[in-house]
Chains A and B, each alone.
Chain A
Amino acid sequence: MALKARHKRFILIGIGLGLIGLAAMLILNAFQSNMVFFYTPTQVAQGEVPKNTGFRIGGLVEEKSFKRGEDGLSVRFIITDTAKTVPVIYKGVLPDLFKEGKGVVAQGKLGEDGTFTASEVLAKHDENYMPPEAAEALKRAQTQSNTVVMPK
Chain B
Amino acid sequence: MNNAWLTVLTRDLLQAYRRRSDIATTFFFFVIVSSLFPLGVGSDSAILSMIAPGVLWVAALLAGMISLSRLFATDFADGALEQMLLSPQPLALLVSAKILAHWLVCGLPVVLLAPIIGLQYALPNEAISTLVLSLLLGTPALSLIGAIGAALTLGARGSGLLVALLVLPLYIPVLIFGSLAVAASQHGMSPQAHLSLLAAISLLALVLAPLATAAALRISVE
Contacts and interface: CB of A to CB of B under 8 A. Distances in A.
Interface of A: 5, 8-9, 12, 16, 19-20, 22-24, 26-27, 29-35, 48-53, 55
Contacts of A50: 183-184, 187-189
A26 B203 contact: yes
Interface of B: 2, 50, 88, 90, 93, 180, 183-184, 186-190, 192-194, 196-197, 199-201, 203-204, 206-207
A51 B187 contact: yes
The 3 closest A-B pairs by CB, nearest first: A50-B187, A26-B200, A23-B203
Contact of B187 (A26, A35, A53): A53
A16 B207 contact: yes
A12 B50 CA distance: 43
Given A20-B204, A50-B189, A30 B184 contact: no
B132 to A, nearest CB: 19
Given A20-B207, A26-B203, A35-B180, A51 B193 contact: no
Contacts of B204: 19-20, 23
Point out which of A24, A26, A49, A51 has the most chain B C-beta atoms below 10 A from its C-beta: A26
Q: Most chain-B CB neighbours within 10 Å: which of A23, A33, A48, A53?
A: A23
A8 B165 CA distance: 37
Contact of B203 (A20, A29, A31): A20
Given A50-B188, A53-B50, A9 B207 contact: no
Contacts of B206: 19
5 contacts: A26-B197, A26-B199, A30-B193, A48-B189, A55-B187
Contacts of B186: 53
Contacts of B194: 30, 35
Contacts of A9: 90
B197 A30 contact: yes
A33 B200 contact: no
A94 to B, nearest CB: 27
Given A27-B196, A27-B200, A50-B184, 15 more contacts: A5-B88, A12-B90, A12-B93, A20-B207, A23-B201, A27-B197, A30-B194, A31-B193, A34-B193, A35-B197, A50-B183, A50-B187, A50-B188, A53-B50, A55-B187
Contacts of B188: 50-52
Contacts of A34: 193
Contacts of A19: 203-204, 206-207
A148 B36 CA distance: 61
Contacts of B93: 12
Contacts of A52: 187-188
A30 B187 contact: no
A25 to B, nearest CB: 8
B193 A35 contact: yes
